[in-house]
Structure 1
Amino acid sequence: MPHIRPVSDLRNHFAEISKIVHETLEPVFLTKNGHGDMVVMSIEQYENIQYNNEIFAKLKEAEIEANSSDVRFSHDEVFKQLRQRLRKEEKG
């Protein structure tokens, strides 16, 4: 269930809101005059969202590239290439 609080709680109950966002890793939605105004979340959760968005963007990019080419690689081929790259980086 989402946590919805009036924006005044940010000032009056900051410690409680901070505890909620850190313990639950869920955002607190703040309202102003009965309408949504802001979202407060922990830095950890914000970074998780950013990381997931980056992964999604990379997967979308890979999907677009895959749709524009018939070239496919097996699991073994991909990991063989990755291992070779890692060895080169370790040496160089």
Structure 2
Amino acid sequence: MQIMPVSELRNHYSAVEEAVSTGGPVFLTKNGYGSMVVMSMEQYENLTGNVEAMLDAADRQASSTTLRYSHDDVFGALRGELDRGEAI
């Protein structure tokens, strides 16, 4: 994990860019506290993956059925799987 003061972004942009391209996200601080995270476009796309496509698929499925799950149904099942050590 790389942590840098936010002033590095202003004063040494190329160093931050190099750190991001070779080592993953860079956490920037302001007055000693976390301010933001800088990452490459590739890292961002890997992080978000196909979220938009999955949301579109969920919308299509929701429009094709009246079946709905409550918050307790969904998260209760997930908690149960996590408690049993099952893959989600």
- More helix, by proportion: 1
Task: Using the TM superposition, give the Cα deviation of residue 4 of structure 1 relative to its aligned residue in structure 2, in angstroms.
Answer: 0.4
Aligned residues with identical type, % of pairs: 52
Count of paired positions: 56
- TM-score between both structures, scaled by the size of structure 2: 0.56
| 4+ aligned runs moved over 2 Å, structure 1 | none
Secondary structure of the residue aligned to 2:15 is helix
Instruction: Give the unaligned 5+ runs of structure 1.
Output: 68-92
Tell me the alpha carbon deviations over residues 35-87 of structure 1, each in whole angstroms, 9 at most, x when there is no partner: 000100001100100106x3xx68xx8xx6xx8xxxxxxxxxxxxxxxxxxxx
Q: Is residue 2:40 matched to residue 1:35?
A: no
Q: What is the CA RMSD across the aligned residues, in angstroms?
A: 2.2
- TM-score between both structures, scaled by the size of structure 1: 0.54
Q: Please tell me whether Structure 1 or Structure 2 has the larger radius of gyration of its CA atoms.
A: 1
Q: Give the 5 Å matches for 1:14-53.
A: 14-24=13-23, 26-51=24-49
Instruction: Give the unaligned 5+ runs of structure 2.
Output: 59-73, 78-88
